[in-house]
Each structure stands twice: as structure tokens, then as C-alpha cells.
């Protein structure tokens, strides 16, 4: 991935003055400068283009002279089937972006007619949506993934499957992203982790699931995670469903640990271990701490005083012993999920008889543990590799 085209659609020339409470205070020129800087950091040359005219945008897309395209189509997103057809007709991958959370706005904004032609849709992250779209295109070029469905929801009951070279059968690392179960955060957060683990000889299944704001929350989110894991035998005959680990970050760490503690039927895939990175292990405590301004209550749809059983059934600490080896990792400077939560969980898991290895990294925060370029990742990767032996 060397050259990326960024297309801004109608009215994006008004950035900085149009509804700054929704779109921010950056002007389009300032945003373009920032995007160019992100491109340089990722080793990518970026060209930006803006037009209020559908035909000009179609003409620019049809030139297909870049390795990848990022498009914020503005209102064209919701009705331009000609734009969908133009994107579908070119070979470079296209990522749809939006500054605002379009799923939380007017009903007509929630429908995208171009999403099906794009390889990903990233929204609701402010200007960072462009950064994350660039990062996704770069990672996609480094190790392309096959997107597979494990349920009927074509947007959220899907995952990215990466297979190493060879016939297999390969051990499988199921990867679960975090983001406090909110719909604006998606599996692109774990692209780099998935690629690094695949390079180590694992097949990786980087899953999406229904989240709060996209039809998820209790119990659907947990049901999706269980279904995605149990779908492993159907994905490829080059996978070994007897050698599966689950790697989760933050809220994904909660889901990873929960998946090992659930009580599956005989057809379920049982993980042989869990790697939980900065996990939320006690939902009652997380609610009391007000993590992400009430994320737990939004996820479980109740306060613990209204339904304490729902909290216990979803909290890994209440499911102990899980009966599988666990690696718990946390940075001592984490300002999203308190490190004390992992310290307490690791102690209680060991007391309950589980095999637990706990690593606390000095000077690390919430996201260093999912950055393969950071020094802490080498220890995490070593722990993952130990499951092969």
C-alpha cells in the first residue's frame, strides 16, 4: 500500500463552520494536513479530493489510480447507488468513513447504500475515523483477510480469517476487540495483533459482534461471541478446532474470559486457553467505577440493583474457576480499565484452582498491550506461542 486517495463528498468543504458540535472545529484544510501526516507515519502517500458534485466524485473513483481509497461520501452515502456501483467496479479496496456516529443520528442517516461495496465502514470516531481507515488499508495490504459470516447479520456477525501458508490443520487464535461494547469500535482495532499472531503460525479469526448501538448488548453480544467460536469447524478444513485460544482486549477481554467460563453443549468449541489484555473482569465493580460513563449499564441494560444475576452471569470473576489456563496482562498506567481489577482477578482465579499467569507492565497504558510495535508485545506473543507446546 503506497498511494491512498481520500475523497470528501458534499458539504465537507464546510468543516469547521458546519455543526461543530457534530463535526468538530477542524477545517477541511486542517483535516487534510492531518491526514497527510498520518499517511507519512504509515509510509503512505495520500492525495485528498473534495467535491459537492456526484459526477465529479464518480469520475475520480473510476480513474482507479491508487492502491486504496477512503471515502466520506456525505449525504450521498444514503442514496447514491451510482456511487455504490463505481466503488464495486474498481479493484482498489475502499473504506467508507464518517466523522459522526451515523447510527445514532436521524433514521435516514443510518442506511448506507455504499457499505456493501466497501471493505470496511468506520464511523463515529471524529477525525480519527480517517486515521483508522488508513491504518486498516495498510494492514489489509500486509496480510489480506477473508471475511466470513457466522450468522445472518452481514454487518456484525462476521469475522476476518487469516491462514498461514501450508496445509494445516492450524491452531486458531480467536481475537476479540474492545471498545466498551460500543458500536463505533470494531475489529479493525485488532488488525495488527491478528497479523502478528498469524505470522507465528496461527490461523486468526478476528471477529465482529453486535454491539451497543447496532443491535447488541446483553445477551446478544455474548451469544455472538459463542457462535463465532463454535463456527470454527465450518470455516475451513485447515483449522484445528481442538487447539483454540481466545485473545481479547478490554471489553473483549471480558468476552474472552466469559467464553471459557460458559457452559456449552457438546457441539461447542472449548478453548484451551485465554489471553486477556487489560480485561474488564468484574462488571459490578466496573459499573460502580462508572467506566466509560456508564458503559456497563448500557451493555447489560440494567443496573446491578435491578438485576444482579445478569452482572454475575457476565462477569468472569463470578464464573471462576474457568478450568482453562489464563494469561492476564495489564499496564500499570491504564486510565481506561484500572489495573487493580486484573490484580484482584488473577489472585481469585489462582485461589479457585485455575492456572493463571499474570503480567503487569510498568509504564504502560491501555493500548500498548495491543501494539505489536511496542516492547510489551514480545512478552505477550511469547505467552501465546507457549500454548502451541
From CA 310, how far away is CA 303, in angstroms rounded? 9
Give ∠ CA 377-161-154 in degrees, rounded to 5.
120
pLDDT given at position 24: 78
Q: Is 23 among the residues known to form the active site?
A: yes
From the candidates 8, 98, 139, 330, give the one annotated as an active-site residue. Answer: 98
CATH topology identical between 3-137 and 145-386: yes
Domain ranges of the chain: 3-137, 145-386
Q: Do 341 and 277 form a contact (C-beta atoms < 8 A)?
A: no
Options 3.40.50.2000, 3.40.50.620, 3.50.50.60, 3.40.50.9100; CATH of 3-137 = 3.40.50.9100
Q: Which CATH architecture has domain 145-386?
A: 3-Layer(aba) Sandwich (3.40)
Residues near 179 by beta carbon (within 8 Å), at least 6 away in sequence: 185, 186, 189, 211, 250, 251, 252
From CA 8, how far away is CA 49, in angstroms rounded? 6
pLDDT given at position 217: 95
Q: Is 250 helix (H, G, I), strand (E, B) or coil?
A: coil
pLDDT given at position 205: 98
pLDDT given at position 327: 98
Q: pLDDT of 65-79, one tens digit each? A: 999 999 999 999 999
Q: pLDDT of 138-152, one tens digit each? A: 999 999 999 999 999
pLDDT higher than 70, residue 265: no
**What are the helix (H) ranges across 231-321?**
232-235, 251-261, 283-289, 295-300, 308-314
pLDDT higher than 90, residue 263: no
* Average pLDDT, integer, range 362-367: 97
pLDDT given at position 102: 86
From CA 37, how far away is CA 32, in angstroms rounded? 9
pLDDT given at position 374: 95
Q: pLDDT of 37-52, one tens digit each? A: 999 999 999 999 999 9
Of residues 265 and 24, the one with the higher pLDDT is 24
pLDDT given at position 12: 95
Q: Is 249 among the residues known to form the active site?
A: no
pLDDT higher than 90, residue 375: yes
Q: What's the chain's average pLDDT?
A: 95
* Average pLDDT, integer, range 194-211: 97
**pLDDT band at residue 53 using 50, 70 and 90 as cut-offs:** very high
From CA 132, how far away is CA 341, in angstroms rounded? 29
DSSP string, 171-220: EEEEEE--STTBTT--GGGGHHHHHHHHHTT-EEEEE----BTTT-STTH
pLDDT given at position 266: 58
From the candidates 23, 123, 130, 209, give the one annotated as an active-site residue. Answer: 23
If phi > 0 it is left, if psi is from -120 to 50 it is alpha, else beta; for residue 112 that is: beta
* Average pLDDT, integer, range 155-172: 95
pLDDT given at position 110: 82
- Give the H/E segment covering residue 120: strand 120-123
Amino acid at each position: 500500500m503506497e498511494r491512498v486517495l481520500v475523497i470528501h463528498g458534499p458539504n465537507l468543504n464546510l468543516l469547521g463552520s458546519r455543526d461543530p458540535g457534530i463535526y468538530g472545529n477542524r477545517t477541511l484544510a486542517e483535516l487534510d494536513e492531518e491526514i497527510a501526516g498520518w499517511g507519512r507515519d504509515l509510509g503512505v502517500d495520500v492525495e485528498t479530493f473534495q467535491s459537492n458534485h456526484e459526477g465529479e466524485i464518480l469520475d475520480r473513483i473510476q480513474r482507479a489510480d491508487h492502491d486504496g481509497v477512503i471515502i466520506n461520501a456525505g449525504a450521498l452515502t444514503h442514496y447514491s447507488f451510482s456511487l455504490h456501483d463505481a466503488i464495486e467496479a474498481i479493484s482498489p479496496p475502499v473504506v467508507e468513513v464518517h466523522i459522526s456516529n451515523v447510527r445514532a443520528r436521524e433514521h435516514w442517516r443510518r442506511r448506507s447504500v455504499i457499505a456493501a461495496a466497501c471493505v470496511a465502514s468506520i464511523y463515529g470516531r471524529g477525525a480519527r475515523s480517517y486515521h483508522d481507515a488508513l491504518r486498516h488499508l495498510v494492514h489489509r495490504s500486509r496480510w489480506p483477510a477473508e471475511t466470513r459470516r457466522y450468522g445472518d447479520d452481514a454487518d456484525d456477525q462476521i469475522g476476518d480469517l487469516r491462514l498461514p501458508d501450508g496445509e494445516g490443520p492450524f491452531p486458531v487464535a480467536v481475537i476479540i476487540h474492545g471498545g466498551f461494547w460500543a458500536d463505533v469500535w470494531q475489529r479493525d482495532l485488532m488488525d495488527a495483533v491478528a497479523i502478528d499472531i498469524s505470522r507465528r503460525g496461527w490461523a486468526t479469526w478476528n471477529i465482529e459482534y453486535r454491539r451497543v448501538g447496532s443491535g447488541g448488548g446483553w445477551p446478544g453480544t455474548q451469544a455472538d461471541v459463542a457462535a463465532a467460536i463454535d463456527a470454527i469447524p465450518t470455516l475451513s478444513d485447515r483449522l484445528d478446532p481442538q487447539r483454540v485460544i481466545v485473545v481479547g482486549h478490554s471489553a473483549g477481554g471480558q468476552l474472552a474470559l466469559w467464553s471459557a467460563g460458559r457452559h456449552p453443549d457438546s457441539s461447542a468449541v472449548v478453548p484451551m486457553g485465554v489471553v486477556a489484555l487489560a480485561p474488564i473482569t468484574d462488571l459490578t465493580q466496573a459499573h460502580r467505577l462508572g467506566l466509560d460513563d456508564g458503559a456497563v449499564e448500557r451493555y447489560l441494560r440494567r443496573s446491578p440493583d435491578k438485576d444482579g444475576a445478569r452482572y454475575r452471569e457476565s462477569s468472569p470473576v463470578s464464573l471462576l474457576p474457568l478450568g482453562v489456563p489464563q494469561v492476564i496482562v495489564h499496564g500499570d498506567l491504564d486510565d481506561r480499565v484500572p489495573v487493580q481489577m486484573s490484580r484482584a482477578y488473577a489472585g481469585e482465579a489462582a485461589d479457585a484452582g485455575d492456572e493463571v499467569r499474570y503480567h503487569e507492565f510498568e509504564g504502560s497504558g491501555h493500548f500498548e498491550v495491543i501494539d505489536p510495535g511496542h516492547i510489551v508485545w514480545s512478552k505477550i506473543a511469547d505467552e501465546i506461542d507457549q500454548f502451541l507446546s
